[in-house]
Structure 1
């Protein structure tokens, strides 16, 4: 559910997806292979904690071809699957690929993302489907603004009969100088056939490039998610919080 580190936190989630690691910039002029490792005080994806409001370890690898095509993988420790009553499912691995390009002042990013929850048994729990989820996505960026739409081709994160659910993400990235960036975000998660599981999320992330591949972030995040579907093991995973993360890219 990608990535932080955030969301991308946004996962620094800047993906916790889940982070979910997908940069939304035009293709680099040369091919590149990069790696990242990091930690966050709470893995948030689309505003919801994947780690029971606890810290998570994360890391990934990305290959970007000079043609604009890219592939990558990213992983994180999680708790929500076992908290739902499954006997297995403590690791999320996201596999993704796509194409980035530009038309004039507008850059775009299209691709497919598979959320794989290793060995998960969530489908054996009454009221749940298998957690593994596949989405296609498209994003456009103009100046500092980005809009992204993700559409599920399968059941969505363990929700029964939830194929064709979607997520709409609106964000902006402001360069504050001296290595600081500020990223406001709002999103809408729609879960097909389960209205109580649909919700809005919002965040404000302050990032800092510390140099030599090291970056840090602090994210204020919250949702209006119903407490019923998103309370597991006695914890409401959509509560307002401040999430801090550290990532090293090389």
Structure 2
């Protein structure tokens, strides 16, 4: 009679083998892509992510990868950028995963994303998101599900306030208007949680407008003007900037 440990091992082995068989079609058609970019300024929702300097040019190095599981619609990814707005931290790491599908004429995308600041975890934030694209137009909504919200509130902040239920709605437009030339524009609105608003932080609107040129061989050059309508608590990070970005996809 086999031992209990041996029986459990056999059960585990069978389960693992079955999982591998079920997952194999996904892995067989998986696709990996990567990207790297150098930008004159990294703005997130209209705000400079380098608040240590007042000048317009604040270069940032960025890059990441995306892993799509073939035609299943599932994907995971990672994106990183140099930043300088949290004491002791110089890197933002985004980890995300989701599911893309088509319903009628609309391309849908739902998922979750966590922003990680390893040098100062007060900034760590997790959101769920959903978007729909119809032709050149996309509407996307992101909803904070973590207590923490980019250092404004949360367990790590120590204020006893919560950033959960902060929402961000963005409407964007992207259309090729000439060979290799794409016009881009977006308008976003941040609605803070009641706890954050109790600190006197106003909801605000951000915007961007510009274009991108396909240089070939995976290279592109983009130029946009981006900013936000409210003066920030920490300097002029909401100020409109001309941002130029050179990117390469693999």
TM-score interval, smaller chain: 0.7 to 0.9
Deviations 1:166-215 (A, max 9, x none): 10000111111211111111000112123324210011021111110101
After the TM superposition, which segments of 4 or more aligned residues of structure 1 sit over 6 Å from their partners?
none
The answer for the alignment partner of 2:37 in structure 1 is 38
**Aligned equivalents of 2:176, 2:243: Cα separation in 1:** 20
Superposition CA RMSD, Å:
1.3
Deviations 1:20-47 (A, max 9, x none): xxxxxxxxxx631011111100001111
Q: Aligned pair 1:60/2:64, yes or no?
A: yes
The answer for the alignment partner of 1:185 in structure 2 is 186
**Aligned equivalents of 1:222, 1:33: Cα separation in 2:** 33
Normalized per residue, which structure has more helix? 2
The answer for the alignment partner of 2:196 in structure 1 is 194
Mapping for residues 208-227 of structure 1, pairs under 5 Å: 208-227=213-232
Deviations 1:202-244 (A, max 9, x none): 110211111101011001112112332xx2xxx4100011000
The answer for the alignment partner of 2:140 in structure 1 is 148
SS of structure 2 residue aligned to 1:169: strand
Q: Aligned pair 1:207/2:195, yes or no?
A: no
SS of structure 2 residue aligned to 1:236: coil
The answer for the alignment partner of 2:241 in structure 1 is 241
The answer for the alignment partner of 2:151 in structure 1 is 158
The answer for the alignment partner of 2:124 in structure 1 is 132
Larger radius of gyration: 2
The answer for the alignment partner of 1:170 in structure 2 is 171
**Aligned equivalents of 2:143, 2:59: Cα separation in 1:** 28
SS of structure 1 residue aligned to 2:86: helix
Q: Give the length in aligned residue pairs.
A: 203
Unaligned runs of 5+ in 1: 1-29, 83-87, 122-129
**Aligned equivalents of 1:224, 1:182: Cα separation in 2:** 22
The answer for the alignment partner of 1:79 in structure 2 is 84
**Aligned equivalents of 2:202, 2:82: Cα separation in 1:** 23
SS of structure 2 residue aligned to 1:194: helix
**Aligned equivalents of 1:219, 1:226: Cα separation in 2:** 20
TM value normalised by structure 2: 0.78
Q: Report deviation, 1:159.
A: 1.1
SS of structure 2 residue aligned to 1:89: coil
The answer for the alignment partner of 1:116 in structure 2 is 116
The answer for the alignment partner of 1:5 in structure 2 is none
**Aligned equivalents of 1:199, 1:170: Cα separation in 2:** 14
**Aligned equivalents of 1:63, 1:79: Cα separation in 2:** 28
**Aligned equivalents of 1:63, 1:103: Cα separation in 2:** 22
The answer for the alignment partner of 2:6 in structure 1 is none
